[in-house]
Structure 1
Amino acid sequence: MNILIDLGHPAHVHLYKNFYFEAKERGHNIFVTVKEIPSAIRLLDAYGIKYIVIGKKGKTKIGKFIKQIWFDLRTIWIVIRYRIDIGLGSSITTTHVSLVTAMKSIIFDDDDDDVQPLFVKFAHPFATELLSPDALRGNRGRVDTIFYPAYHEIAYLHPSRFNPDPGILDRAGIKKGDPYFILRFNQFLAHHDYNVDGLTLQQKEKLINVLLPHGRVFVTTESESDHVFDKYRIKIDSTEIHSFIYYAKLFLGDSQTMSSEASVLGTPSIRCNSLVGRISSLNEQEKKYGLCFGFKPEDLENMLSKIIELLANQNLREEWEVKRDNMLKDKFDLSGFMLWFVENYPASKEYRNDRTIFKQKEITE
C-alpha cells in the first residue's frame, strides 16, 4: 500500500513516527510531506524519516489561504506521481487532495470544533474518515466521527512505546534527586490560535521567581520577546524532551500539547491560557483523572497558590503515578490502532459501531 503522511506541526512528527516505522517494516511504501517548519524538520532528521518539504506556512489569514492552495496543488502532484492509496494526517491539505484524487483521507483530530472553526469548516466535511478521542464525544459536529479511547500523546508516550532515559539528567547537568521545573511558552500563531492569550512577560517572570527557591528552572519558548529567559533555556536534543518532562517535578506553561504530554507521562502539569475549559481532552485529564490543572491568565494568583500546594506534597510523584495508571487502564495504544485501521480499511471503519473488531495483540505481536 502507498501511504502519505502530511505533517503541519512538530507534534505531528511524534504522533505518526511509530506508524511510519512499523508500516514500513510491514512492507508499505510511506511518503511524508511537511511544511517548512524548522523544529519539525529537525525532528524528522533526528529520527531518520525521509520527507518532502512542500513550502512555508502563511502568517496572516490571507497568507494562509494562498499558501493552502499551493500546498493542495503540490500534494496533488505527489499523490498522482506516487499513486497514493491513503493519506494520513491532521491537515486540511490531506482532505482537499482526497476530493480530487483516488486517495482516501484518514484524519486524526483531537481539537474541539469551537476551538478550531476554520479546520472544521475547511477540512472536516472533506475527510473520508474523521477520527477523534472519546473525550470529544458531544463536541463534534460531524455525526459519523469515529471515536477511540486515547489521546494523541499516547501514540508516542504509551508505556509500550516510550521508556524514559535517566541519562538525560547528566546531559542536562542535573544531579539525581534534584528537583527541576520545565516551563513552555507558546507564540500562538496557528490557525486555531487567533485571539488566544497566554502568559504575559510579567506573569512569566513572576512564575519563575516563585519556582526558583524550590529547584532549577528550564524554559522552552517560541516567543522572541522571551530572550530575557535565555539563561534558563533548555539545552538538550529535541528528541529528549519527553524524558526530560518525565523526570521533572512540575511542568508549567501555556502549551496545550506539552501539558497533555506531561499528564500522559505522570508529571503534574499546570497550564495557563485563555483556552482553559474549552479543550475536552485536557478537561478529561483534569476533571476525571486529576493529572493536570488549568487556569486563565487573569487567575494567576490561584495558579501560584496551586503550585505552592503541589510543592508541599511529599508524595507528589507517587500520587501521580497512581493517577497515570488509572488513566492508562482506560486507554489503548493509539499507534497500534492507527496501523490496524489503515491496513484494514475500509472494513475497519466499522469500529465506529463495533469496538470488538480491533484486537491490540494482532498488531503488537
Structure 2
Amino acid sequence: MNYLFFTNTPAHVHLYRNAIAELEARGHETLVLARDYGCTLDLLDYYDIPHVVYGELATSKYSLARQLPSHYVTILREARAYDPDKIFGVGAYAAHAGAAIDAPVVLITDSENTHLDHAISRPFADAYLTPHTFDKDLGEKHHVFRGFKECAYLHPDEYEPQSDVREELGVGPDEEFVVVRLNAFGSHHDVGQAGFTPEKRRRLVAELAEDATVFVSDEGEEMDFSETPAREFDLHPALLHDALAEASLLVADTQTMVTEAALLGTPAIRSNSFVGDGDMGNFAELEREGLIFNRREFDAVMETATDLLGRSGVAREWARKRETFLADKVNLTDLVVEVATDPTRLASLPTKRTHDRMPTGASV
C-alpha cells in the first residue's frame, strides 16, 4: 500500500519517522510532503526519509497566510500524482488533500486551542487520534490513546541515544547544564501568543549561568551570543533529545520540547501566554504528575529553576517519575502502523466520549 505523511514542523517528522520506517520494512511505499520550516528538512535528510517540499514558511507572524495558496497548489498536485491509499497528518493540509483525491485521512493532534484548524479540518478527516488528556470533543470520529504524540519516538521501546552528547557538547560527565528553548511564535496557532521578552531572555540566561552551563536553542535565531553567558546549541537537531535526556533542566517558552523533556525524565519549566486557564490537557497532567512546572510569571520561573538546580537527587527522582508515568502509556508508533495496516484497529479504540465515561485509570 501507499501511505502519504505530512510533516509541517520538525515535531511532525519525529511523530511519524518510526512508523514510516516500519511500514517500509514491511514492504509498503511511503512519501512525505514536507514544509521547509525550522529544521524540518534537516531531520528528514538525517533520517533518510523520502520527501517532497510543498513550500516554505518563515518564522515571522502571518507568513503562513501569504504562502498558503502556493502550498495548496503543490500539495494537491503531488497528492494526485502519488495516489495514496491513506494519509496521515496533523491538520488542514492533510485533511484537504484527502478530500481532494478521495483518500482516507487520519489526523493526530494534541493542541486543543487550534480552533480554526479543527474547524476547517474536521469535516474532511476520517478520524482524529488524540492523547487521553485532550480536553476537547472533536465528534464521533475522535478516538483517544493513552499517552502523548511524543510517545511515537520517546516511548522507552522507541528511544535510544544516538550519540555521546556530552562529548559532542564539550561538557564533562558530571557537569550540570541547562537547555533553554526559545520559540519564534511564527506558526498559525501562535498568533497573538508570546513568551519571554528579549529582556527576560537575557536575565534568564544570566541567572541560570550562575549555577550551570547554559545552551540556548533559539528558533527565531534572534539571540546575540556575543553578549550572553550562554552557548548556542549548534549540534544537529536530531541530537537534541540526547541533550535533553542528559540536561539537568529545560526552561522553555515553547511547547513540544517541554513534553519531550518530561518523557525523557528531565525537569522542565514552561512559561508562555498559553499557561493558565484553558491550558492544554497534556501540560496539566504532566504538572499533576510532578514532571513539569507551568509558570506564567517570570519571577516564578526563576525561583523554580534556582530550586531545582540547588537540590540534590533531582535526576534520580525524575527518573522514577518518568518510569512510573510511562508504565501504562502506548507506543504510538505501533499504534500508527496498526491503524495504517489494519482497517479494524480504529474501531477498537475508545472514542473521546466513551473514554470520558471509563473509570479513572482505565487503560486505552
Is 1:174 aligned to residue 175 of structure 2?
no
Cα RMSD after superposing both structures: 1.9
CA shift, 1:141, in A, is 3.6
Is 1:123 aligned to residue 121 of structure 2?
yes
Distance in 1 (alpha carbons) for counterparts of 2:337 and 2:114 = 26
CA shift, 1:320, in A, is 0.4
Q: Given that residues 214 and 230 in structure 2 are in contact (C-alpha distance below 8 angstroms), is that contact kept between their aligned partners in structure 1?
A: no
In the alignment, which residue of structure 2 is the partner of 1:205? 202
In the alignment, which residue of structure 2 is the partner of 1:12? 12
In the alignment, which residue of structure 2 is the partner of 1:249? 248
Distance in 2 (alpha carbons) for counterparts of 1:128 and 1:57 = 27
CA shift, 1:169, in A, is 0.6
Percent identity, aligned pairs only, is 26
| Shift in CA distance, 293/101, structure 1 to aligned 2, threshold 3 Å | same
Please list every run of 5 or more consecutive structure 2 residues that lacks an aligned counterpart in the other structure: 356-364
Correspondence for 1:150 among 147, 151, 161? 147
What secondary structure, in the 3-state scheme, does the structure 1 residue paired with 2:123 have?
A: helix
In the alignment, which residue of structure 2 is the partner of 1:362? none
In the alignment, which residue of structure 2 is the partner of 1:268? 267
In the alignment, which residue of structure 1 is the partner of 2:360? none
In the alignment, which residue of structure 1 is the partner of 2:88? 88
Q: Given that residues 246 and 265 in structure 1 are in contact (C-alpha distance below 8 angstroms), is that contact kept between their aligned partners in structure 2?
A: yes
CA shift, 1:161, in A, is 0.9
CA shift, 1:60, in A, is 5.8
Q: TM-score, length-normalised on structure 1?
A: 0.90
- What letter corresponds to residue 202 of structure 1 in structure 2? E
The 5-angstrom pairing of residues 24-63 of structure 1 reads: 24-57=24-57, 61=62
Question: In proportion to residue count, which structure has more helix?
Answer: 1
Correspondence for 1:304 among 299, 302, 305? 302
| Shift in CA distance, 217/124, structure 1 to aligned 2, threshold 3 Å | same
Deviations 1:68-112 (A, max 9, x none): 343333222223222211011113111012222221111001101
Distance in 1 (alpha carbons) for counterparts of 2:25 and 2:202 = 48
- What letter corresponds to residue 194 of structure 2 in structure 1? D
| Shift in CA distance, 319/16, structure 1 to aligned 2, threshold 3 Å | same
In the alignment, which residue of structure 2 is the partner of 1:293? 293
In the alignment, which residue of structure 1 is the partner of 2:257? 258
27-36 vs 96-105, which moves further: 96-105
Higher relative contact order structure (alpha carbons within 8 Å, sequence separation ≥ 6): 2
224-233 vs 263-272, which moves further: 224-233
Correspondence for 1:216 among 206, 213, 218? 213
Distance in 2 (alpha carbons) for counterparts of 1:108 and 1:18 = 15
| Shift in CA distance, 328/83, structure 1 to aligned 2, threshold 3 Å | same
Aligned residue pair count: 348
CA shift, 1:350, in A, is 3.4
Q: Given that residues 209 and 229 in structure 2 are in contact (C-alpha distance below 8 angstroms), is that contact kept between their aligned partners in structure 1?
A: no
Deviations 1:169-212 (A, max 9, x none): 11111110110000000010101001111001111122122211
Distance in 2 (alpha carbons) for counterparts of 1:66 and 1:186 = 21
